[in-house]
Amino acid sequence: MNRRIKELAEQARIKDHWSIDEARYLTNYLDEKKFAELIVRECVMLCDKVYEQNDNVKIQAGATFCREDIKKHFGVEE
């Protein structure tokens, strides 16, 4: 797993703990929905970056279509 995937997984991790009368409870799991949304948003961000770094109208149009197609395909809203 690359560094960025690990960072996104950590952002999507649910961690919590508490203790009542010596009874301890620990939650530590990956929220798969949040993890998937973070990955999709990262992909959309890359399309935005391509758009911003290029003056070529065709490349900008392709980046815009790519961005919108990714969002539509995965059902992610802004």
- pLDDT, position 21: 65
- The residues that bridge with 18 in the sheet, in sequence order, are 25
6 pLDDT more than 80? yes
Q: pLDDT tens, 29-64? A: 899 999 999 999 999 999 999 999 988 988 889 999
CA-based Rg of the chain, rounded to a whole angstrom?
18
pLDDT band at 27 (very low <50, low <70, confident <90, very high): confident
Cβ within 8 Å of residue 44, ≥6 positions away: 67, 70, 71, 76
Cα separation, 47 vs 70, whole angstroms: 9
Domain parsing of the chain, residue ranges? 3-74
Closest Cα to residue 14, out of 1, 26, 2?
A: 26
